[in-house]
């Protein structure tokens, strides 16, 4: 595979579809996901959206501040065929909250803000262990969400069921 200029390997569309699916699920289902083991995670898209251009000769569009997902510009971008390239995600599980910018092309997270250190943290070693556990938990959550997305997206009846619902939402 050849690497593209955006750092992706030609499979960035999966990340774009994943981000759009997260947005769709947040707006239509409240953003609560039940993961394996009964873990419940909340998700929202926050104050940063970046849309790719529909063709190579156009510029990308970035929306910031407040709730850009609720703006006319965001809805118009979806209707015009722009793909969600990056988004700021807020994730929560119990009292722990993370925020990170998810890059669809590389499926990498940047600007990660971890939950506050646990009250039990007394030493630098405890602090390091707590932060490592929070990084791992974030990674597991995103992996589990992506697995849910793929299970739905790869169903044989996807285009006639969930895909059609998401297409109507995008057009609305």
Instruction: Give the pLDDT confidence of 43-85 residue by residue, as tens digits.
Output: 999 989 999 876 665 677 788 877 788 888 888 888 888 889 9
- CA 3 to chain centroid, in Å, comes to 22
Could you list the residue range(s) of the whole structural domain that residue 127 is in?
12-159
* pLDDT tens-digit readout, 150-165: 999 999 999 999 999 9
In a domain, 143, yes or no: yes
Q: Say if residue 92's pLDDT is above 70.
A: yes
In a domain, 164, yes or no: no
CB 41 within 8 A of CB 92: yes
d(CA 45, CA 81): 19
Q: Say if residue 7's pLDDT is above 80.
A: no
In a domain, 1, yes or no: no
In a domain, 169, yes or no: no
- Over range 30-40, report the average pLDDT: 94
Q: Considering its fold, how many domains does the chain have in total?
A: 1
In a domain, 170, yes or no: no
In a domain, 6, yes or no: no
Give the pLDDT band (50/70/90) at residue 8: very low
Predicted pLDDT of residue 84 = 92
Predicted pLDDT of residue 13 = 87
pTM for the model: 0.87
Cβ burial 50-78 (10 Å sphere, 16+ → b, else e): bbbbeeeeeeebebeeeebbeeeebeebb
In a domain, 155, yes or no: yes
Give the pLDDT band (50/70/90) at residue 134: very high
In a domain, 4, yes or no: no
pLDDT averaged over every residue in the chain: 88
Q: Say if residue 6's pLDDT is above 70.
A: no
- Over range 128-142, report the average pLDDT: 95
* pLDDT tens-digit readout, 98-122: 999 999 999 999 999 999 988 888 8
Of 44, 26, 42, nearest to 34 by C-alpha is 42
Q: Say if residue 1's pLDDT is above 50.
A: no
């Amino acid at each position: 595979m050849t690497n593209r200029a955006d750092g992706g390997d030609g499979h960035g569309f999966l990340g774009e579809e994943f981000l759009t699916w997260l947005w769709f699920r947040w707006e239509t289902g409240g953003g609560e996901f039940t993961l394996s083991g009964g873990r419940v995670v909340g998700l929202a898209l926050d104050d940063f959206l970046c849309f790719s251009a529909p063709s190579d000769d156009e510029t990308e569009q970035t929306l910031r501040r407040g709730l850009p997902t609720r703006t006319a510009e965001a809805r118009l971008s979806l209707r015009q065929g722009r793909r969600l390239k990056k988004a700021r995600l807020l994730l929560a599980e119990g009292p722990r909250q993370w925020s990170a910018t998810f890059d669809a092309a590389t499926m990498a997270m940047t600007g990660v803000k971890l939950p506050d250190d646990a009250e039990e943290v007394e030493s630098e070693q405890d602090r390091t262990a707590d932060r490592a556990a929070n990084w791992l938990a974030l990674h597991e959550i995103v992996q589990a969400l992506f697995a849910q997305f793929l299970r739905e997206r790869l169903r044989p009846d996807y285009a006639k069921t969930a895909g059609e619902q998401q297409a109507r939402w995008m057009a609305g």
